[in-house]
């Protein structure tokens, strides 16, 4: 996967080598990408970096704009849920159980008489928190381990590769049921820890592949010949050229981690009440679907939109960082 995704030196690709293949593809599929503008002509004179190139693509990509706005909104309500839902998600009145939409309660009530709107809004916090923190953990742990293995190679590389094989063999949901069912904490940390534990091998493989490709390049060999230390080689020459695929995969994974959290919570081993989570609400509402479908549909819809937004964002970022795939 890493090899296919990875384009080692976009700067070079855009200038010297990049002539035939890339130009052909871009002209055929995205003619709008080559406008006559201030930075349009003479790319040979002023090579753009991978990042400014990607940003230029992203700004014009409607998929990125829509998913970005959705995510921005999600992050805002995750930070300040009470701005749009002032009640407490734990404030439930059983006498209103399963009632539909009414004044002040646009989404109606669930089987316990809790306000579905309030719970759906507050559920964004856990989902975003789990998604972002787990992705950070996975990205940091996975890319550091993967980069070290790829850079130094040898025995450590073999050991790490076998370890990742072991982790890849663990079925995610089954592993979650086994590991998380023994933990009684009602915070988000066990779930985040579990996702990091099972998620890092994927990132470490990608980082390893990217580093191995990058370190074979002439400029790295040259820097090494000039006496650059390992840390300088890694940080200055290899990392900037190996980080793109890591970012792409991490962004796409973020959405799947949110879905995984909901899955685990649905199964009763992820977050536990009184935590508020879409997975918990979906699980609680599913037996009542015939009588109170709204209690199921709102949190499910929120979950679907959130996961979709992150996956679409990841797609857009991948397209921008790896034009060859288009």
Options 33, 268, 305, 324; binder of other proteins; rule CB under 8 A:
268
Among residues 221, 219, 228, 164, the alpha carbon closest in space to that of 197 is found at 164
Does position 274 interact with other proteins (CB under 8 A)? The reply is: yes
Give the number of C-alpha atoms closer than 13 A to the C-alpha of residue 185, restricted to the C-beta side: 10
When the beta carbons of 30 and 112 are compared against other proteins, the nearer one is 112
When the beta carbons of 52 and 187 are compared against other proteins, the nearer one is 187
| CA 47/CA 24 separation, integer angstroms | 19
When the beta carbons of 210 and 282 are compared against other proteins, the nearer one is 282
**The tokens of 210 are what?**
């990217």
Does position 86 interact with other proteins (CB under 8 A)? The reply is: no
**Which among 65-73, 214-222, 271-279, 305-313 is the span making contact with other proteins, rule CB under 8 A?**
271-279
Does position 273 interact with other proteins (CB under 8 A)? The reply is: yes
Give the number of C-alpha atoms closer than 13 A to the C-alpha of residue 1, restricted to the C-beta side: 12
- Label residue 131 left, alpha or beta by phi (over 0 means left) and psi (-120 to 50 means alpha): alpha
When the beta carbons of 15 and 88 are compared against other proteins, the nearer one is 88
Does position 175 interact with other proteins (CB under 8 A)? The reply is: no
Options 29, 39, 93, 165; binder of other proteins; rule CB under 8 A:
93
**Residue carrying the six token digits 């004179």:** 45
| CA 162/CA 112 separation, integer angstroms | 48
* x-marked contacts with other proteins along 210-249 as a string, rule CB under 8 A: ----------------------------------------
**The tokens of 67 are what?**
């998913």
When the beta carbons of 144 and 177 are compared against other proteins, the nearer one is 177
* x-marked contacts with other proteins along 39-78 as a string, rule CB under 8 A: ----------------------------------------
Options 43, 68, 111, 293; binder of other proteins; rule CB under 8 A:
111
Does position 82 interact with other proteins (CB under 8 A)? The reply is: no
Does position 185 interact with other proteins (CB under 8 A)? The reply is: no
| CA 136/CA 146 separation, integer angstroms | 15
Does position 180 interact with other proteins (CB under 8 A)? The reply is: no
**Which among 22-30, 35-43, 227-235, 281-289 is the span making contact with other proteins, rule CB under 8 A?**
281-289
Could you tell me how many residues of this chain bind other proteins (CB under 8 A)?
Answer: 25
- Asked if 271 and 261 count as a contact pair (C-beta separation under 8 A), the reply is yes
| CA 158/CA 306 separation, integer angstroms | 38
When the beta carbons of 44 and 184 are compared against other proteins, the nearer one is 184
Does position 284 interact with other proteins (CB under 8 A)? The reply is: yes
| In the complex, least distance from residue 271 CB atom to other proteins, rounded to whole angstroms | 12
For the residues of 111-171, what is the DSSP string, one character each? TTSBBHHHHHHHHHHHHHHHHHHHHHHHHHHHHHHHHHHHHH-HHHHHHHHHHHHHHHTS-
* x-marked contacts with other proteins along 286-305 as a string, rule CB under 8 A: -xx-xx--------------
| CA 309/CA 306 separation, integer angstroms | 5
- Other C-beta atoms within 10 Å of 176: how many? 23
**Residue carrying the six token digits 């590389």:** 157
Residues lying near other proteins in the complex (CB under 8 A): 88, 90-95, 97, 111-114, 181, 184, 186, 268-269, 272-274, 284, 287-288, 290-291
């Amino acid at each position: 996967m890493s090899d296919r995704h990875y384009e080692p030196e976009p700067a070079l690709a855009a200038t010297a080598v990049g002539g035939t293949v890339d130009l052909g593809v871009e002209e055929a599929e995205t003619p709008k990408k080559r406008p006559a503008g201030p930075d349009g002509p003479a790319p040979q004179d002023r090579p753009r970096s991978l990042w400014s190139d990607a940003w230029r693509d992203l700004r014009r990509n409607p998929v990125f704009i829509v998913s970005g706005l959705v995510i921005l909104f999600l992050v805002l309500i995750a930070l300040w849920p009470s701005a749009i839902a002032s009640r407490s998600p734990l404030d439930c009145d059983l006498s209103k159980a399963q009632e539909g939409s009414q004044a002040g309660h646009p989404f109606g009530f669930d089987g316990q008489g809790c306000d579905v709107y309030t719970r759906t809004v507050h559920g964004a916090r856990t989902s975003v928190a789990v998604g972002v923190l787990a992705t950070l953990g996975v990205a940091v742990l996975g890319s550091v381990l993967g980069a070290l293995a790829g850079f130094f190679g040898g025995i450590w590389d073999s050991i790490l590769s076998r370890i990742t094989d072991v982790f890849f063999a663990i079925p995610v949901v089954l592993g979650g049921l086994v590991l998380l069912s023994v933990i009684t904490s009602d915070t988000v940390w066990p779930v985040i820890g579990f996702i990091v534990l099972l998620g890092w091998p994927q990132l470490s493989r990608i980082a390893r592949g990217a580093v191995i490709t990058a370190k074979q390049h002439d400029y790295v060999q040259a820097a090494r010949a000039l006496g650059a230390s390992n840390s300088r080689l890694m940080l200055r020459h290899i990392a900037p050229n190996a980080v793109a695929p890591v970012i792409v995969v991490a962004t796409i994974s973020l959405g799947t981690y949110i879905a995984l959290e909901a899955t685990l919570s649905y199964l009763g081993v992820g977050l536990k009440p009184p935590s508020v989570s879409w997975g918990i609400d979906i699980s609680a509402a599913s037996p009542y679907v015939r009588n109170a479908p709204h209690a199921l549909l709102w949190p499910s819809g929120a979950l679907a939109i959130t996961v979709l937004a992150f996956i679409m964002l990841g797609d857009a970022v991948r397209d921008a960082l790896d034009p060859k795939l288009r």
